[in-house]
Structures are given as structure tokens and as C-alpha cells.
Amino acid sequence: MSNVTTVYKVSGMTCGHCEGAVSEEVSEIEGVSSVKAVASTGEVTVVSTAELDDEAVRAAVDEAGYELTGRA
């Protein structure tokens, strides 16, 4: 089974703490195997076992206190 890598754009991240908060919430989505958030680019790279529902990712990012603006 191959992994799916998706890059999302998130606004509001400014530091390592922001990256950690977003990564922690998104990593709780079922099927997610890794998350790398980069505040300087506003990009969150998610590796998952299947295509993720954008709304699930949006909800996780919202929970962390940031805004999902789309895919990169």
C-alpha cells in the first residue's frame, strides 16, 4: 500500500509552537502517519495511508487555532 502525501496551506503559524500545535491536531486524524508543519512557508505536509477528507484536516487545523486556506 502506498502513502499519499498532501501539502496544505495554513495561515497564522508564526513559530515552532504553532507548528507543534497544528502537527499534533492533524496527526490525530485516522490514517495520518506523519505531519510536518513549517511556519515560515505556511505549509503543512501530511503523509497518510489514504486520501484525506479536506474537511477533517480543516477541522483539525481550526482546533489548533489556525486557518486552512487550501492545498499548496
The burial class, CB within 10 Å (0-12 / 13-18 / 19+), for 63 is middle
**What pTM was computed for the model?**
0.95
Gap between the Cα atoms of 36 and 72, Å rounded: 14
Reading the chain (72 residues) residue by residue, the pLDDT tens digits are 689 999 999 999 999 999 999 999 999 999 999 999 999 999 999 999 999 999 999 999 999 999 999 999
The CATH number that applies at residue 28 is 3.30.70.100
DSSP string, 16-69: HHHHHHHHHHHHTSTTEEEEEEETTTTEEEEEESSPPPHHHHHHHHHHHT-EEE
The whole domain housing 48 covers 4-71
Edge-to-edge strands, sheet with 4-11: 32-38, 43-48, 4-11, 67-71
